[in-house]
Structure 1
Amino acid sequence: MTPKILVIEDEPTLARLLSYNLTQDGYEVKVVEHGGEGFQLAMQQAHDLIILDLMLPGMNGFEILTKLRQKGVRTPVIILTARNAEEEVVQGLKHGADDYMTKPFGVAELLARVSAVLRRTKSDELMSDDLAKSNDKVIIIGDLYVYPEKYEVILHNTSISLRPKEFEVLLYLAQRPGFVVSRDDLMNIVWGFDYFGGQRTVDVHVSSLRKKLEMSQQSVQIESIRGVGYKLIVQNQVKRVTE
């Protein structure tokens, strides 16, 4: 089945460039110029990928991304941002973007990033299917309960809402409590070897994850190891339980 890509971009020249090259590469492409219209289309129709500009009329990219994630739309999103706009990149990742591209960009980079995100999404879906067929398991760390196959986290008997990549970072650390995990390892395991983003992506997700775990500082902490990576510090021994 031909992958469907929704492009939300109001700059005519760039919109045509995206549409032409993606179509030539075998994708089915729909281009929308207005933010509000793009949001409605993303809600009403299924797409395999959304390419989203941040500066849009009607509703900006951050608003679109936030509302989509709040409503449970997990379609992968690549945001488009101005070169050297690091704050936009950070905010985009915090809002749930899967990748980003800085303008101007080359066609080869565009197609490579699109292909990489779609491959990662397919891999995640296959992994989720495999997990769903397995028995329920839980990793217990102090007051923290991590359910790998359900993508659920319980802290102090309260469900903690994590984005998929935040959960995967936490899971990888939880499987190695007390051991230092490098940023490169987290990048490769969670985002894949073909991910184009830098280590800043890892730092942004860890920072967001820390804030959501703050209520259990005495039980679970993510410690930074300068120049190396992170490790999960726990007060109680990790237990693995199969139900």
Structure 2
Amino acid sequence: MDSKHRVLIVEDSPDLAEALQKNLSLDGYEVSLATRAAQALPLVASERPELIILDLGLPDRDGYSVLKELRERGNSCPVLILSARNLEADKLEGFRLGADDYVTKPFSVMELLARISALLRRASAKSTAESATAAVVVSDDDLHERYGLTARQTAVARLLAEGCSNAEIARRLSVSYFTARNHTEQVLAKLGVSSRAAVGAVVFGQV
């Protein structure tokens, strides 16, 4: 890892929080800990983490409400929910509120580290895409005429080019996760590509 990414762990179990901190630190991350929502929110503002690992069962507030407040404040930091709640409804609620990933307890440390790395790569790609927005040469009309994209599919294509996940697309377009996933599949099919990076190449006029 070239530079240390800042990760905030919001977890009320001291043993689990310390174990996570140790594993992430060994993997090269700079880690902060919070055991309550009242500690976590000020840390987000002061330390500006690049990724947040969020437990749902906090002693002072439900983790969902913390996530909701972060998104309402305009904070787009990737959030990975780490929770013992394993029902599909729990996961869908997390994604609806703006979570980028959801891992259930018990979990594999190696899988968790891989998911964290993937989220940070995606966030980096999104940042790069946003900085290149001024270079966009393919207009909405061109995307419609060349590829037959509808207005909604064009919006999805531009979000994919920014590196957005299906969960983030759903949040930003105020649609369900499944609708966002279906739009993503339709965009990939119409553009004749198989990856989000390739969508970006089309949107930014690189093909």
Do 1:52 and 1:78's aligned partners in 2 also have CA atoms closer than 8 Å? yes
RMSD: 3.3
Q: Residues 110-125 of structure 1: matches in 2 within 5 Å?
A: 110-125=112-127
SS for the counterpart of 1:84 is coil
Offset at 1:16? 0.8
Percent identity at matched positions? Answer: 34
Distance in 2 separating the partners of 1:64 and 1:17:
23
SS for the counterpart of 2:132 is helix
Q: Which amino acid aligns with 2:106?
A: P
Question: Is residue 22 from structure 1 mapped to residue 24 from structure 2 by the alignment?
Answer: yes
Q: 1:133 to 1:172 in 2, by over 3 A?
A: farther
Q: Normalising by the residue count of structure 1, what TM-score does the alignment of the two structures yield? A: 0.61
Q: Which amino acid aligns with 1:50?
A: I
Do 1:7 and 1:29's aligned partners in 2 also have CA atoms closer than 8 Å? yes
Correspondence for 2:169 among 162, 165, 168 = 165
SS for the counterpart of 2:31 is strand
Distance in 2 separating the partners of 1:65 and 1:96:
7
SS for the counterpart of 1:128 is helix
Q: Which amino acid aligns with 2:66?
A: I
SS for the counterpart of 1:173 is helix
1:126 alignment partner in structure 2: 128
Offset at 1:174? 5.4
Offset at 1:85? 2.5
Distance in 2 separating the partners of 1:136 and 1:20:
46
SS for the counterpart of 2:18 is helix
Offset at 1:54? 0.6
Q: 1:108 to 1:175 in 2, by over 3 A?
A: closer
Distance in 2 separating the partners of 1:72 and 1:146:
23
Question: Is residue 59 from structure 1 mapped to residue 61 from structure 2 by the alignment?
Answer: yes
Q: Which amino acid aligns with 2:116?
A: V
Deviation per CA, 1:23-55: give whole Å up to 9, x if none. 111100000001122122213331110000011
Q: Structure 1 runs of 4+ off > 6 angstroms?
A: 140-143
Deviation per CA, 1:135-177: give whole Å up to 9, x if none. 47225677769457975xxxxxxxxxx9742357546635767
Q: Which amino acid aligns with 1:34?
A: R
Distance in 2 separating the partners of 1:105 and 1:17:
13
What residue ranges of structure 2 are gaps of 5+ in the alignment?
160-165, 174-179, 198-207
Distance in 2 separating the partners of 1:85 and 1:46:
31
User: How many pairs align?
Assistant: 175
Bigger strand share: 1
1:41 alignment partner in structure 2: 43
What residue ranges of structure 1 are gaps of 5+ in the alignment?
152-161, 191-243
2:202 alignment partner in structure 1: none
